[in-house]
Amino acid sequence: MTATLTRTVQPWRLFRTTVSRVQRLSSSFLRITFAGPELMALGDDRDDQRVKVILPAPDGSLDVGDADGLSWYQELMGRDAASRNAVRTYTSRHVRAEQGEVDVDFVLHGDEGPASRWATTATVGDEIILCGPNLAHGGPYGGTSFKPAPGTDRFLLVADETAVPAALAILEGLPAHAMGAALLEVPHADDMLPVSAPPGVQVRWLAREDAAHGALLEPAVGNLLQLWLGDRHGADSSEVELPVDPDGYLWDVPEQTVSGEFYAWLAGEAGVVTRLRRTLVREHGVDRRSVAFMGYWRAGRAEG
Ligand SMILES: Cc1cc2nc3c(=O)[nH]c(=O)nc-3n(C[C@H](O)[C@H](O)[C@H](O)COP(=O)(O)OP(=O)(O)OC[C@H]3O[C@@H](n4cnc5c(N)ncnc54)[C@H](O)[C@@H]3O)c2cc1C
């Protein structure tokens, strides 16, 4: 008798990739196109689909083990922190699986972080590994956080530059009749990238220049809510603790089941997002089950 061994197809896997194009989009955004035959198996749930970027270790090596599943991560985290590969989270801005290509838009924020440092000097032919959705699994793969209830037609998207790639992808996928607004704070005026959004969704770019992170976004959100909701105040003063995951990241993505007055998606620096979320829920009484908020990074703290 022959035993049949079945192996579950994992929703995520590793992809060996090579930089095939480096394109400076603006002062702060650098688009890097990764290519390779393995990427023909890259899945994509769109919206704010994320991937993990695994960079060469300080000695240049790129050996992170098993291509399937996530066991590689545990194995990697068991290695010496100073010499292992850095892993960072990014948005897959465009996936062209049939061509074996994916674009990732990196915000350049200096050479303090390994990802920004790597991107700054990336050239065609450089190799990295991506961890992302596995087409063979069939999806949904996980790794998206935009979860409005079916039938929702009013949206508020709020993002800093790190979440602009995700916000632009979400805007591209909204139904043509969608209404609402997107407020996007970027470092400089030339960081205002081309947008494709339904006509009923007003897209407003805010160029921070020398101001602090969130300095323009926070009043802009307050003013918009005043316009949309008037003087209504939140009754939810009981809420003190915000959900923070074991790594210290601020993350709450309620699966909206019933369509409310609008669905809000907030992503960016954790402290700014915390204050924005308070503005919505406490100051303006927006139902917290309609607010997804994600700390994409935390000032003064490296990812992981
Ligand atoms: C779901 C998700 C999707 C994301 N998508 C993108 C994306 O498409 N493009 C993108 O650029 N980023 C994206 N980010 C944010 C990115 O993961 C972080 O900015 C990450 O910290 C960058 O890694 P690093 O190695 O450059 O810096 P780290 O080593 O993580 O941090 C080093 C230092 O730099 C600071 N820092 C980190 N990011 C910034 C920044 N942008 N500006 C100023 N200081 C910073 C940290 O506070 C820390 O002090 C995403 C994050 C998440 C969670």
| CATH number of the domain bearing residue 235 | 3.40.50.80
Query: To test the ligand 1 pocket, which listed residue (106, 251, 296, 301) has its Cβ within 8 A of the most ligand atoms?
Result: 296
Q: Is residue 302 part of a domain?
A: no
What are the phi and psi torsion angles at 150 (to 5°)? -55, 140
Task: Report H helices in the chain.
Answer: 71-77, 114-121, 164-173, 217-229, 270-278
Instruction: Verify whether ligand 1 is closer than 6 Å to residue 110 (CB atom).
Output: no
Distance between CA atoms of residues 160 and 175, nearest Å? 23
Query: To test the ligand 1 pocket, which listed residue (297, 298, 303) has its Cβ within 8 A of the most ligand atoms?
Result: 297
Tens digit of pLDDT for each residue in 123-182? 999 999 999 999 999 999 999 999 999 999 999 999 999 999 999 999 999 999 999 999
- Rounded average pLDDT over 69-89: 90
Both 185 and 284 in one domain: the answer is yes
* DSSP-derived 3-state class of residue 92: coil
Give the mean pLDDT of the chain: 92
Both 116 and 244 in one domain: the answer is no
Instruction: Verify whether ligand 1 is closer than 6 Å to residue 90 (CB atom).
Output: yes
Distance between CA atoms of residues 57 and 83, nearest Å? 6
Residue nearest to atom 22 of ligand 1 (CA): 115
Both 101 and 222 in one domain: the answer is no
Both 160 and 132 in one domain: the answer is no
Q: Which of 103, 137, 171 is the last residue of a domain?
A: 137
Kindly give the distance from the C-alpha atom of residue 296 to the centroid of ligand 1, in angstroms, as a whole number: 7
Q: Is residue 3 part of a domain?
A: no
Both 158 and 119 in one domain: the answer is no
Tens digit of pLDDT for each residue in 13-57? 999 999 999 999 999 999 999 999 999 999 999 999 999 999 999
Both 163 and 112 in one domain: the answer is no
Kindly give the distance from the C-alpha atom of residue 259 to the centroid of ligand 1, in angstroms, as a whole number: 32
Q: Is residue 175 part of a domain?
A: yes
Kindly give the distance from the C-alpha atom of residue 248 to the centroid of ligand 1, in angstroms, as a whole number: 14
Whole-model pTM?
A: 0.95
Both 164 and 127 in one domain: the answer is no
Q: Which of 89, 107, 137 is the last residue of a domain?
A: 137
Q: Is residue 7 part of a domain?
A: no
| CATH number of the domain bearing residue 132 | 2.40.30.10
Residue nearest to atom 6 of ligand 1 (CA): 90
The residue with tokens 């990295």 is 128
Tens digit of pLDDT for each residue in 212-237? 999 999 999 999 999 999 988 776 55
- Rounded average pLDDT over 268-278: 95
Please report which confidence band the pLDDT of residue 67 belongs to, taking 50, 70 and 90 as the band edges. low
Both 77 and 109 in one domain: the answer is yes
Q: Is residue 148 part of a domain?
A: no
Q: Which residue range is the domain that position 31 belongs to?
A: 12-137
Tokens coding 106: 């990196």
Q: How confident is the model at residue 223, as a pLDDT?
A: 97
Task: Give the total number of structural domains in the chain.
Answer: 2
Both 106 and 193 in one domain: the answer is no
Both 227 and 276 in one domain: the answer is yes
Both 243 and 132 in one domain: the answer is no
Both 177 and 231 in one domain: the answer is yes
Contact call for residues 220 and 279 (beta carbons, < 8 A): no
Q: Is residue 58 part of a domain?
A: yes
Q: Which of 137, 171, 202 is the last residue of a domain?
A: 137
Instruction: Verify whether ligand 1 is closer than 6 Å to residue 85 (CB atom).
Output: no
Q: How confident is the model at residue 208, as a pLDDT?
A: 98
Contact call for residues 92 and 103 (beta carbons, < 8 A): yes
Kindly give the distance from the C-alpha atom of residue 18 to the centroid of ligand 1, in angstroms, as a whole number: 21
Kindly give the distance from the C-alpha atom of residue 82 to the centroid of ligand 1, in angstroms, as a whole number: 19
* Residue 260: closest CA among 147, 144, 145, 143: 147
Give the rounded percent of residues in the chain with a pLDDT score beyond 90. Answer: 81
Q: From the alpha carbon of 119, which atom of ligand 1 is closest?
A: 26
Instruction: Verify whether ligand 1 is closer than 6 Å to residue 115 (CB atom).
Output: yes
Q: Is residue 241 part of a domain?
A: yes
